Chains A and B, each alone.
Chain A
Amino acid sequence: SAVISQKPSRDICQRGTSLTIQCQVDSQVTMMFWYRQQPGQSLTLIATANQGSEATYESGFVIDKFPISRPNLTFSTLTVSNMSPEDSSIYLCSVVDRGYYEQYFGPGTRLTVT
């Protein structure tokens, strides 16, 4: 299975600032996703990161708030913009291996907004 790393692993940020989270995979993968998990909740898909084109956002998530980049098949970033305390969550990068249906998750980024 793919090995996924995320940076930072955690951060405490002030309201109104932005944070960019990086996701690096050790092999080329077909699909990359970004999820959010708010305290006590299950995982919610934010968007699919498309290589070389704009991300596909789920209902309730917009590009201005969560801009995503995916310059190649092994790397993606998620920015949480103009943060508020409601953005305090774990943010998870996830990938699907090329040709397989199994989906794996990175170690996550725990974000606290004060």
Chain B
Amino acid sequence: EDKVVQSPLSLVVHEGDTVTLNCSYEVTNFRSLLWYKQEKKAPTFLFMLTSSGIEKKSGRLSSILDKKELFSILNITATQTGDSAVYLCAVKSSSASKIIFGSGTRLSIRP
């Protein structure tokens, strides 16, 4: 059965810290891995990763995929209180149109 596992489930850090969120997956015919940020209702798209070893970067956020070890990490440097959110990892297979979500990591940034 396809699955996506995120860790940790929750994380509390101080403003300015650097955090690493983990996502491991098992899926048939992997196509892409997606990261989202969810603050209130709608998840906001962050990154889509399809190739191993190529870092995607947007400001203080970056992500990389390892297709051999079947995982991805999302890094946030110099965290700010506005980074507090649930971060969702999702995986799409080429054999199915749907994406499978992990349970999310709830990140809280303390001032």
Chain A residues packing against B (C-beta within 8 Å): 1, 31, 33, 41-45, 48, 58, 90, 92, 96, 101-108, 110
Contact of A48 among B43, B45, B97 (CB under 8 A): B97
Q: Is the CB of A43 within 8 A of B88?
A: yes
Q: Is the CB of B48 within 8 A of A101?
A: yes
Q: Is the CB of B41 within 8 A of A42?
A: no
Size of the chain B interface, CB-CB below 8 angstroms: 22
- Interface of A, secondary structure class, is strand
Determine the chain B residues whose CB is within 8 A of the CB of A101 once the complex forms. Answer: 31-32, 48, 50, 92
Chain B residues packing against A (C-beta within 8 Å): 31-32, 34, 36, 40-45, 48, 50, 88, 90, 92, 97-99, 101-104
Determine the chain A residues whose CB is within 8 A of the CB of B99 once the complex forms. Answer: 45, 103
